[in-house]
């Protein structure tokens, strides 16, 4: 049975900050952010945008562009590490905003940036097992990445969501059943219950990511029956890694090719990986959706069409759990990805200066307790908290 991604939706905030401006304000040489970390711009969520609105926007787009009606969705899972309530899942808000039917399994998953992949793999297994005959699963990865003003992690923030529609006979990516896994209990990145900002042991987190890649890739090769095969990754026409920032994907690829015995592990980066970074260079880290944004960028920007080709995928979530898996791009996928018009929408965003960015970041502190003033119903918007309940407005359909 062929099972995989039948539709994709991508959403991101209406504003961004240029990291050249941020570098100047922080007294950092601009080369450090641009070349050293590999970031260019960063999405900034406004007070009326949150994990729910980003998820709903991406979900609606995935349904609309794939011609799927809300009644066809039998499973809705939102993978997020920046949920809006200790009990009520983001997925329930999204179910309401998208008008999904009541005969639907609805919940949220969490494991740092891996939470979306955990949900996706469960949805794929559910469809393979025939648990949703004639129906589809909607998996949405949605997050706002926040480390706080003036921290080392500040240039690696971002916000956005990617919605993935999972079905039989998918029209974008056939996902293969093998998964190489790696999990260990580490404190590389976390967010205590009392904090809105993530805490991170930055350099250690890079090492944890690379160790997890090594473990998951070795496991994957074993499952394919070729643990020692040199040049194994040549079987992929391209690769999408989890992208907390561009340089991390470069380090990951170097590691993977070194494991393959490649004496020039950087030589294939431009061809196999660079096209996957175009959107994240504009948006930043979106945590759970990051690798799926990379996949979308890869499909849209690869020099030679990837239709009919295999792509390798590496998902990492701090804490940590990681998974290496692969899929084959379905002919016709490029037109579906181009219909998202991500590049065009990125150009329509509002550019913030540093004081405006800082004031938005500070304003988020009290947001969970009061109404939000400006509401522009051109998209799903957060209207604030009334009687301890979060309220939202939906745009016209």
Least spacing, CB of residue 148 vs ligand HMG, in Å: 11
113: annotated active-site residue: yes
> Phi-psi region for residue 296, left (φ > 0), alpha (ψ -120 to 50) or beta?
alpha
Contact 310, 328 (CB under 8 A): yes
Note whether 32 binds ligand HMG by CB under 6 A: yes
Q: Which of residues 224-253 bind ligand HMG (CB under 6 A)?
A: 242, 244-245, 247-248
Least spacing, CB of residue 273 vs ligand HMG, in Å: 15
Contact 8, 162 (CB under 8 A): yes
Q: Which of residues 64-103 bind ligand HMG (CB under 6 A)?
A: 81
- The Cα–Cα gap between 317 and 111 comes to 6
Q: Which of residues 130-159 bind ligand HMG (CB under 6 A)?
A: 152-153, 156
Omega within 30 of 0 (cis) for the link into 320: yes
- Residues paired with residue 7 on neighbouring β-strands, in sequence order: 165
Least spacing, CB of residue 158 vs ligand HMG, in Å: 10
- The Cα–Cα gap between 112 and 187 comes to 12
Catalytic residue among 49, 61, 72, 81: 81
The residue within the footprint of ligand HMG, chosen from 284, 317, 327, 384 (CB under 6 A), is: 317
- The Cα–Cα gap between 158 and 323 comes to 23
Q: 179 is written with which tokens?
A: 């998964």
- The Cα–Cα gap between 42 and 156 comes to 8
Least spacing, CB of residue 312 vs ligand HMG, in Å: 17
CA dihedral sign, ordered 7, 13, 16, 22 = negative
Question: 324 in helix, strand or coil?
Answer: strand
Least spacing, CB of residue 205 vs ligand HMG, in Å: 4
The residue within the footprint of ligand HMG, chosen from 35, 71, 234, 353 (CB under 6 A), is: 35
The residue within the footprint of ligand HMG, chosen from 15, 44, 98, 113 (CB under 6 A), is: 113
- The Cα–Cα gap between 174 and 316 comes to 21
Least spacing, CB of residue 234 vs ligand HMG, in Å: 25
Q: Which is nearer to ligand HMG, 207 or 359 (CB)?
A: 207
Region binding ligand HMG by CB under 6 A among candidate stretches 8-16, 33-41, 371-379, 389-397: 33-41
Q: Which is nearer to ligand HMG, 158 or 312 (CB)?
A: 158
Note whether 196 binds ligand HMG by CB under 6 A: no
- The Cα–Cα gap between 234 and 226 comes to 13
Would you tell me which residues interact with ligand HMG (CB under 6 A)?
A: 29, 31-32, 35-37, 81, 112-113, 152-153, 156, 188-189, 200, 202-203, 205-206, 209, 242, 244-245, 247-248, 285, 287, 316-318
């Amino acid at each position: 049975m062929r099972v995989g991604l039948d539709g994709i939706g991508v959403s991101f905030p209406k504003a961004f900050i240029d990291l050249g401006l941020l570098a100047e304000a922080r007294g950092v040489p601009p080369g450090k952010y641009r070349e050293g970390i590999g970031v260019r711009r960063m999405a900034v969520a406004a007070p009326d945008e949150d994990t729910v609105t980003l998820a709903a926007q991406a979900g609606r787009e995935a349904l609309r562009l794939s011609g799927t009606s809300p009644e066809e969705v039998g499973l809705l899972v939102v993978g997020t590490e920046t949920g809006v309530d200790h009990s009520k899942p983001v997925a329930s808000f999204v179910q309401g905003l998208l008008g999904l039917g009541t005969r639907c399994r609805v919940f949220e998953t969490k494991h740092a940036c891996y939470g979306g992949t955990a949900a996706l793999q469960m949805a794929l297994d559910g469809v393979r097992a025939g648990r949703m005959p004639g129906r589809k699963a909607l998996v949405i990865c949605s997050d706002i990445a926040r480390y706080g003003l003036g921290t080392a992690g500040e240039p690696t923030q971002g916000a956005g969501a990617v919605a993935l529609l999972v079905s039989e006979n998918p029209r974008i990516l056939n996902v293969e059943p093998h998964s190489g896994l790696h999990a260990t209990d580490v404190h590389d990145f976390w967010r205590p219950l009392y904090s809105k900002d993530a805490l991170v042991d930055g350099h250690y987190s890079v090492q944890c990511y690379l160790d997890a890649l090594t473990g998951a890739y070795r496991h994957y090769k074993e499952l394919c029956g070729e643990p020692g095969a040199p040049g194994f990754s040549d079987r992929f026409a391209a690769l999408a890694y989890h992208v907390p920032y561009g340089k991390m994907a470069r380090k990951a690829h170097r590691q993977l090719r070194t494991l393959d015995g490649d004496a020039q592990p950087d030589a294939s980066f431009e061809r196999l990986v660079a096209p996957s970074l175009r959107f994240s260079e504009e948006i930043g880290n979106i945590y759970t959706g990051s690798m799926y944004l990379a996949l979308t960028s890869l499909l849209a920007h690869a020099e030679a069409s990837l239709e009919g080709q295999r792509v390798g995928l590496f998902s990492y979530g701090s804490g940590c759990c990681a998974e290496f898996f692969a899929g084959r791009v379905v002919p016709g996928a490029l037109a579906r990805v181009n219909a998202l018009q991500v590049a065009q929408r990125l150009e329509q965003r509002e550019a913030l200066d540093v004081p405006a960015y800082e004031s938005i970041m500070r304003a988020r502190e009290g947001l969970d307790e009061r109404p939000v003033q400006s509401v522009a119903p051109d998209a799903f918007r957060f209207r604030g908290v009334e009687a301890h309940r979060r309220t939202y407005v939906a745009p016209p359909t």
